[in-house]
Amino acid sequence: MSTSQYQQLWTRFDTVGLNRYNITTDDLRCIERYIHILQSGLNETVWDEAVQSGGPYGASILIHEIVEIRTLQRAGIDPYRYTQKELARVLADHLSAHVAAIYEEHLYLQDVLLRQYGCYFEVATLVKANRADDTDLNYLLESSIGVFLLEQDRAEEAKAYLEQLRQGGV
Amino acid sequence: MTRIRKLQRRGGDGTWHSDAYAVETHNGQITLRYSLAWEYLGGRYNQMIQEQRLSLEQLEQVLAGDSLRWLPVETLEMDDEDAIQSLDRECHVPRPATVLITLKAHIVRGRLQLIAPLASPIRVQGDHIYLGDGRQLQIALASDPMPELQPG
């Protein structure tokens, strides 16, 4: 993809979110490369979903990836020099990078839902609603990032709002 | 004994490796466990497997492709937990260290006071609770309804 195509792509996401996390067109290129290492061989990738969704939901996926990449880089790791297998091991050894990414992704979604629909959900509730299983929720709840409240009885409501956001994306 | 089935992916360098596997636990449920390389897509496949009640032998129905291959079902001579622990290590599935922070709660003159241990990542200051990086925490308290007292 050329620089101008990345620039065009950049405008399809929620620019408030991208600016808040200083995500540039160069970062888009880095995220695509990172996902390509991690998920080549799969029939679908989170990069494809981010691009298809666009808007705030697509931005939330990009925020997850850039936070993960930057956290690894701050730990002295260059994620682009690894093979898929090696990167899976590196990520397992640096779970905090993934947890930080989950947290920031859903902190951003929390803000978007509040701005767009006037609805406030706890971060853990949004993780529960936004994932098909509880793997990421457990990583978050068991992390040392903080103490999280899970509104179990509001997860379905949050899921409906997130779906609306995903559909209405661009 | 635990039945499992490893999933292999062909990386960009052309080599095959396992970074996910399905395990049949003692209650008969199939669970896909996956490395962080799968991101949230792993959870989606896990949900499909469970919703469609697929057996280990039927997993190609939800996950197949030129760069994916399921190895034959294996029966391991170990219980679920030991098998999961061993395969998690092999497939780079992280196992988070549980962080448990116990707060002491007191009611003093009608006010709830929470006290965090000094080594914890949270700080209590006056009526406010903070994380080590300065973010403020909001804590909601919930309790089960009081059981009804039996007469007599």
* Residue-level pLDDT, tens digit, chain A, 170 residues: 888 899 999 999 999 999 999 999 999 999 999 999 999 888 899 999 999 999 999 999 999 999 999 999 999 999 999 999 999 999 999 999 999 999 999 999 999 999 999 999 999 999 999 999 989 998 888 787 777 788 888 999 999 999 999 988 54
Residue in B closest to A38 by C-alpha: B37
Q: Pull the structure tokens for residue A23.
A: 């995500």
Q: Look at the pTM and tell me if it is higher than 0.90.
A: no
Substitution target from B35, B39, B51 for chain A, most A beta carbons within 10 A? B39
- What part of B 42-81 touches A (C-beta under 8 Å)? 42-44, 46-47, 65-68
State the number of CA atoms in the 13 A half-sphere of A54 facing the CB.
Answer: 10
Structure confidence at residue B133 (pLDDT): 47
Contacts of A92 in chain B (CB under 8 A): 35-36, 92-94
Axis crossing angle, helix A25-39 with helix A84-93, rounded to the nearest 10:
100
ipTM entry: 0.91
User: What are B8's strand-pairing partners?
Assistant: B18, B69
Surface-to-core class of residue A14, CB atoms within 10 Å of its CB (0-12 exposed, 13-18 middle, 19+ buried)? buried
Q: Of A41, A85, A92, which has the smallest distance from its Cβ to B36's Cβ?
A: A92
Task: Report how far residue A121's alpha carbon sits from residue A128's, in angstroms, rounded to the nearest whole number.
Answer: 11
Q: What whole-number distance in Å separates Cα of residue A153 and Cα of residue A170?
A: 30
Asked if the Cβ–Cβ distance from A38 to B137 is below 8 Å, we say no
Check pLDDT > 80 for residue B42: yes
Chain position carrying tokens 């290590």: B89
Label residue B23 by pLDDT band (50, 70, 90): very high
Helix (H) or strand (E) run with residue B124 in it? strand B122-125
Do B34 and A92 form a contact (C-beta atoms < 8 A)? no
Give B86-112 pLDDT, tens digit per residue: 999 999 999 765 444 556 677 777 777
Q: Which residues contact A22 (CB under 8 A, 6 or more apart)?
A: none
